Structure formats: C-alpha cells, structure tokens
Structure 1
Amino acid sequence: MSQLTCFKAYDIRGKLGTELNEDIAYKVGRAYGQIYQPKTVVIGCDIRLSSEALKQATIQGLNDAGVNVLDLGMTGTEEVYFGAFHLDVQGGIEVTASHNPMDYNGMKLVRENARPISADTGLKDIQALAELGTFEDVSKKGTIQPYNILPEFIAHLMTYIDPAKIRPLKLVMNAGNGAAGHVVDAIETKFKQLSIPVEFIKIHNDADGTFPNGIPNPILVENRDSTRNAVLEHGADMGIAWDGDFDRCFLFDEKGQFIEGYYIVGLLAQAFLLKQSGEKIVHDPRLVWNTLDIVHQYQGQTVQSKSGHAFIKDVMREHNAVYGGEMSAHHYFRDFAYCDSGMIPWLLAIAVLSETQKNLSALVEGMIAKFPCSGEINFKVADTQKTIQKIFDHFADQKPIIDQTDGVSLDFGTWRVNVRASNTEPLLRLNIESTASKNPQPMQFYIEELTQLIQG
C-alpha cells in the first residue's frame, strides 16, 4: 500500500505525475462514492491543462462506484459549491490547484449542502480507502450528464445587490486568465439587461491554462501591477483581481492601491449590517480590532473562529452568522450555504460604494489610519512551536492578554500580535496591528522587534 501525499488538511493538492495523476484521481472518485454513497454529485474543473483529464478520471471512479455525475464543465470552485447546495445532489468535486505552480493540480471536495470534507471530516477516510484500493463492485454503474449551472449561479449572485441602487461605476476586472472570465462575461451581460450603469474593463479575461501572464495569485505583490495600472489608466472606481479558481478576490481602490483583505472584512461586515443590524459576523484571530470596531459601530455581533474554511463554516452554522471573513481574502456567506465566494464580495462592495456615495479609498482609509497592520509576514523556521514559545516567553513580563484560539495572540492594549504555524505550508505566519491614536511606536518598530526575535 503506497501512501498518497496529495491529501492535505483541507483538500487534495500535489505535483502532477508523482503525487497526483489520473490513476489517483480515479481512486479518489471511487473512494468518495463508496464512502458517502451519494446518488448524484456535481463536478467541475479549472482551466489548467491537466484538469480536464483528471476530472474525467474522477468521473470514471464515481461512475464505477454507482454514482451519477452532473459535469459542470470548466468552473470556479464556487460554481461547484453552488451546484452542491442548489441542485438535487449529494456532493461536489472541483478539480483545481488554485494558485499553486504550473506543475501542480488538486481537488476540493464537499458533501451534501456543500459541507466541506477536510482532514477531520472525512478526507482521511477517502485517503485510506484510495490507498488500500479495496473497492466494492456495484450492480449498476452511474451515469454522466453535462449541466450548465451558469444561468442559475448568476441569478443567485444578483440577489446580493439591488440593481436600482447601483450608481454609475467603472470597474477593472482581472481574471488572471483563470476560471473567472466566463462569470465576469455573464455578469456583464446581466448588468446590461438590467440597465445597471457599470462599465467593465476586462484584462486577462480569456481562460488560458498556459497562464501567459503568470499564475493568478494577487496576494503576491509582483502580481498586482496589471490591475493597478489598468485602474489608473482607465480612471476606474475599483479594481478586482481573482486567483485561478476565483474563490478569493482582491480589491484595489480608485488610486490603484491594493486593499489588505483584513479591511475588506470590515467593509463587507458594514455592507450586511447596513441592510440588517444585529447580525452576527465571524472573523479569524489574526487581525481583529478593525472588525470589532466596525461591527460594534453598525450594531452587529462578532464571533471569533480559528482560521481555515472548515472552522469558519462550522462556527457560522453554529451561530447562524450572515457573513464570515478571513484576512486571507476568503469570504463566507450564509445565503451561499456558508461557502466562500470570490464574486459576492465585489458585488457587495459596489453596493456599499453606491449606498454611501463614497469611493473605496475613503471607505477604507479611515480604517487603515485607525488600525494599521503589518500584513501577513511569513518566516521559514526550523521549529514553529519552539519559535512561538520563544515569543511567548519574551513578552511574558509585559503581561499581555493571551488568546490561543489559533496560534498565540498577545494583546498589549496599544498593539497586538498573532503568530501561528501555517496549516498548509512549513511556515510561521506573523500579523501585527496597533491602535494608531494611542500608540507611540510606528508599525515598523514592532515588525523589526519580532523579526529579530524570530530569526535570532
């Protein structure tokens, strides 16, 4: 029995050929079908050159396990999530490596109602069966049927805005040659039908698995220029860029400035609370003060959750939260079966721009000035737990308020730090925030102090 190394904490990801190939994809489909015994599942894939073949192998495995498949074709992850809760099916699989390098691919798996399958909710069972290969014969093979989910998906997206209230706007849309382009086109068509006065400036919109403009991952500073330049060149009100499977979107203001995902959480919380005060908003523990401030200001309630989509979704379900946001640009919505979406955030943002009659920089500059943050800084360290303990010990005599929801958060009243081991990579992740009005030290002071401590 050979061990499959492509199984990670939240999904399946691996190097093509060695860690993930069509034989492994077949076994994943077969194991998924045998363990969950769904009648029907939806499946889609991103635009990577290897994705279609991996999808077909997964479908074969599902069919051989007696499962019927609705093939959604080329999709982003959230179209599979949508199909999994919107249609009469019992699960879904998206073949995608999102923003991983060219020679990688992977899969994201969900059960009925798009509930996540991760390491502690079934992914290890699928791995164990795929490794063993002890598959049961079924009396009746499953069927495969193509299905176009796009019209229903677009209709759902339009429920997040009031078309009559959207003011004239010019938007730069950068699909990064990933899977987002076909949805951008469909929304543009729908806006025209509804006479919504929004002009779309589309760049890198064509799906192209060779990624002629680089792997779409706007969280990397070097990948932001094309969106920023287009915003400035066209005098746009906002820029939007997506990763490969468009489950994350990144916003740029009218000055071409990239807005940290942390402040977008505050913006989207505001969008929901403008509609309905008193709602619950879930956030992760890495950076919190701005979110707490905004939610309090707009009469909402905050709930803290450990980082990571499986945790956020569970906490949202438990508290019936309308929205959950992570500073990593993952945004989750109750009306979207608690799943993350890269399309809903920018629609809500244009609703706030319209409602407040402000531009995006005006909406977030106050937040940034009040609660500056470092952005996430990653360190490669030999032992993450030992390094976290070292930070803990170093500051012990200052008696910070300690929170261990996720890694360690130390709150000193005027500044706060969260340090945690990555769930997906061998890295230590550091986030610092401060209250500008009460703080004598600039952010750089804390960044340098902690960098020396971690690397020393």
Structure 2
Amino acid sequence: MRKINGFKAYDIRGKVPGELNTELAYKIGRAYPKYIDAKDIVVGYDIRKSSVEISEALIKGLNDSGVNVTNIGLCGTEMVYFATPHLNADGGIMITASHNPPEYNGMKFVRKDSVPVGYSSGLNEVEQMILENNFSEVKVEKGNVTDVDVMDDFINNLNQFYDVEKISPFKVVVNGGNGCVGLALNAIEPKLPIEMIKVFNEPDSEFPNGVPNPKIEENRKPTIEAIKEHDADLGIAWDGDYDRCFFFDEEGNFIEGYYIVGLLAKSILKNHPGENIVHDPRLVWNTLEIVNQRGGKAVESKSGHAFIKEKMREVNAIYGGEMSAHHYFRDNAYSDSGMIPFLLILQLMSEENKSLA
C-alpha cells in the first residue's frame, strides 16, 4: 500500500515543503471533510512561518468542498479543541508542528465534539483518498470563511476549572518559548492575583531562543535562571502549541511529569471524590498512591493521546494524565490542555500552603 511520508500515528507532520506543502494541504482540505461528512470546520494555526500559507491552501480545499470554515487564526492546539464543540462545528484542524524545529509543520485533526482522528481512526482513509484523487467534485456553491476571535470565550471557559479566590499572590516565571502561549497568558493575566515574570513571551516564528521544547534539558536554563533571579515561587514552560506545560519548583528544579499527574489527580479528587483517573503505564506508583488515598479509582491506559481519550470516554474519567506532560480533562472535551494544569497547580499550592519542592 502506498503511503504519504507526513502521515503519522496521531497527526500529519513533516518538513516544509518536502513532506508538507500547499498542494498537499489543499488535497487534505478536499479529502478530510468528505471522510467525516463535515459542513463546518474550525481551523487554527501556530506561529511557524509556513502556517499561514498552509492554512490558506487548506481552507481553499475545504471551501471547494462546500465546507464553511471558522478561522480562529493564531492560537494554541487546545483552542481548536475548545472551539470545535463551542461553535458546534463538525470538526477541527490545527496547523502545528508543536515542539519540532522551524522547518517543520503539521496538522492535528478532530471530529465533532473534538474526538481525535489519528492514522488508525481515519487519517489512513484520508491518505488513500488523496493518493487515489478520490475527491468530490468542486462545488459550484463554495463554502465561506468567517474569522472569529475565540480568545475571550476560551479564557472564560477556563473559569470552571479553578477558583481565583483560592489562588495566592505568587511570583511565577512563565516561559512561552516564543510559541503561541504568550497570547493566552496576556489574556488571563488580569484575572489572576499572581505576578507573572514573562520569559520569551512574544510569538516569534524564528524561535530565536531555541525550539520551544522544555523536554530538552538545555532549554530549561532560561526558566531556571529567571526563577533564581526573581526569587520566584515556581516556574512553568510551555511547548510551541501549548498543549503541554512543564513545572519547576522555587529552587529551579524540573518536576518530572509523573509527579504532576499525581498532583493534578489530588487537586481534582479534592472536589470530585470517587471519580475515575486514567493514567499511562509508565512510572505509576505516585499516581496510584495518591488516587487511592483520595478515594478515586485509577484506570490504566496505553500511552498516546488517542488511547487515553478513548479510555477516558469509556470509563467517564474526569482526568487523564501522561508522564509526557499531556493532561486531559473530561470537561474540556476530553482534550489535552497546557493551561488547565497551570491553574490547578497554582490553586493546589495555595490551598495547601506548600511549595512544589
């Protein structure tokens, strides 16, 4: 069976223009809505240089298929996950290569209600449609494009996950890595009682301070230095499309992801005792101990966002976490978020009057 190089297990991702280009983006726009039978699709994109031209080609393909597009513009992946059900769209596409180098780009796909579409759950079919030029005819009555700013709605939707009255006036280093999260941090900053010390907050397609990937040890140095310089209470750094966030304590120590899964489970079970918590199979002792202590039920899933989300829906889990720093929330369309963990950890530290250390 023939394959297209950029089609991966969970998304499309590759170098531009060799593996992803405007021609392929247009064909994806022709094939994807036919596969999911969509009339309305949300499109967003990250800060990469190629994102605008790829989004324009994708949107043309969607419109030629008779699909109406809601273009939410420059955003994080979780904003597409939010906007798709919020706007009652049939699907969503986020143009991003997350933490990959600048020459890469990609796409992440969801159906209605932000149910993920990966290779085994539909992208393989889209791939074959493209290889066989199996598209519907270009519609005489093409779809339209509506530009919508959902930032305020997105920020307001986060209110359900935390209580601002219970957050202490911490001094917090926030490192956006010149990705997209700076826009969301600017929007939520007036609502929080904390002092934000912003590092690399401006979106910049050149990634002048390195690829926004805090998993790489050398990329943690600016966050650690800012924590020590400003005597901050903690630090948080995000990847490029801010569906993952990473924590540092007041001494600048990096907190491994499996500890954060346990802390988030603890935070959620305080207000929702007895709920199911889904976790991946790696380094689970901390999560199991906390979930059992808090009266929850721990449910194991295979690693990977498609498996975690599927298991969460199956058992109606309130939260799912992976040590890779992906955190999923039932009331967030079972989708991963880099903003909700940030808020929940702030509140947990405040309520318990304890540092991350």
TM-score band by shorter chain is: over 0.9
Moved more, 306-315 or 229-238: 229-238
CA spacing shift, 1:58–1:356, aligned 2, 3 Å: same
* Aligned residue among 283, 290, 311 for 2:279: 283
CA RMSD of aligned residues (A): 1.1
* 2:165 matched residue in structure 1: 164
Whole-angstrom distance in 2 between the partners of 1:130 and 1:234: 53
* 2:339 matched residue in structure 1: 343
Structure 1 residue 90 displacement after superposition: 0.8
Q: Deviations over 1:110-162 (max 9, x none)?
A: 00000000011111011111122232113421100100010110001122111
* 1:316 matched residue in structure 2: 312
* 1:199 matched residue in structure 2: 195
What is the correspondence of 1:326-365 to structure 2 with a 5 Å cutoff? 326-361=322-357
Whole-angstrom distance in 2 between the partners of 1:133 and 1:179: 34
* 2:45 matched residue in structure 1: 45
* 1:182 matched residue in structure 2: 183
* 1:108 matched residue in structure 2: 108
* 1:142 matched residue in structure 2: 143
Q: Deviations over 1:406-426 (max 9, x none)?
A: xxxxxxxxxxxxxxxxxxxxx
Structure 1 residue 35 displacement after superposition: 1.6
Whole-angstrom distance in 2 between the partners of 1:2 and 1:45: 28
Q: Deviations over 1:25-50 (max 9, x none)?
A: 11111101222221211100000000
Whole-angstrom distance in 2 between the partners of 1:296 and 1:35: 42
Which residue type is aligned with residue 131 of structure 1? L
* 2:152 matched residue in structure 1: 151
Tell whether the 8 Å contact from 1:37 to 1:67 is kept in structure 2 after alignment. Answer: no
Which residue type is aligned with residue 130 of structure 2? A
Whole-angstrom distance in 2 between the partners of 1:59 and 1:104: 19
Which structure carries more relative contact order (alpha carbon 8 Å, separation 6+)?
2
Question: Gaps spanning 5+ residues in structure 2: where?
Answer: none
Tell whether the 8 Å contact from 2:238 to 2:244 is kept in structure 1 after alignment. Answer: yes
Residue aligned with 1:265, SS: helix
* 2:86 matched residue in structure 1: 86
Structure whose CA Rg is larger:
1
Whole-angstrom distance in 1 between the partners of 2:216 and 2:280: 21
* 2:9 matched residue in structure 1: 9
Tell whether the 8 Å contact from 1:110 to 1:116 is kept in structure 2 after alignment. Answer: yes
Whole-angstrom distance in 1 between the partners of 2:260 and 2:249: 11
TM-score normalised per structure 2: 0.98
* 1:173 matched residue in structure 2: 174
Whole-angstrom distance in 2 between the partners of 1:6 and 1:286: 28
Whole-angstrom distance in 2 between the partners of 1:54 and 1:20: 8
Residue aligned with 1:360, SS: coil
Whole-angstrom distance in 2 between the partners of 1:64 and 1:37: 14
Whole-angstrom distance in 2 between the partners of 1:171 and 1:331: 21
Whole-angstrom distance in 1 between the partners of 2:272 and 2:18: 50
Whole-angstrom distance in 2 between the partners of 1:170 and 1:133: 55
Whole-angstrom distance in 1 between the partners of 2:225 and 2:37: 50
Which residue type is aligned with residue 270 of structure 1? K
In the alignment, does 2:263 pair up with 1:262? no
Q: Deviations over 1:417-447 (max 9, x none)?
A: xxxxxxxxxxxxxxxxxxxxxxxxxxxxxxx
Q: Deviations over 1:56-110 (max 9, x none)?
A: 1100011011100000010110000000121121110000001112211100000
Whole-angstrom distance in 1 between the partners of 2:325 and 2:165: 28
Q: Deviations over 1:277-329 (max 9, x none)?
A: 11110000011111100111111110000000000001000111010000000
Q: Deviations over 1:209-253 (max 9, x none)?
A: 000000100001010000111111111111010000000000001
The total of aligned residue pairs comes to 356
Structure 1 residue 190 displacement after superposition: 2.7
Which residue type is aligned with residue 207 of structure 2? F
What is the correspondence of 1:230-241 to structure 2 with a 5 Å cutoff? 230-241=226-237
* 2:62 matched residue in structure 1: 62
Whole-angstrom distance in 2 between the partners of 1:57 and 1:93: 13
Residue aligned with 2:254, SS: coil
Residue aligned with 1:233, SS: helix
Residue aligned with 2:278, SS: strand
Whole-angstrom distance in 1 between the partners of 2:307 and 2:3: 26
Structure 1 residue 269 displacement after superposition: 0.2
What is the correspondence of 1:371-410 to structure 2 with a 5 Å cutoff? none
TM-score normalised per structure 1: 0.77
Which residue type is aligned with residue 163 of structure 1? V
* 1:97 matched residue in structure 2: 97
Structure 1 residue 3 displacement after superposition: 3.7
Residue aligned with 1:73, SS: strand
Tell whether the 8 Å contact from 1:33 to 1:66 is kept in structure 2 after alignment. Answer: no
Residue aligned with 1:224, SS: helix
Whole-angstrom distance in 1 between the partners of 2:260 and 2:134: 47
Residue aligned with 1:13, SS: strand
* 2:208 matched residue in structure 1: 212
Which residue type is aligned with residue 98 of structure 1? S
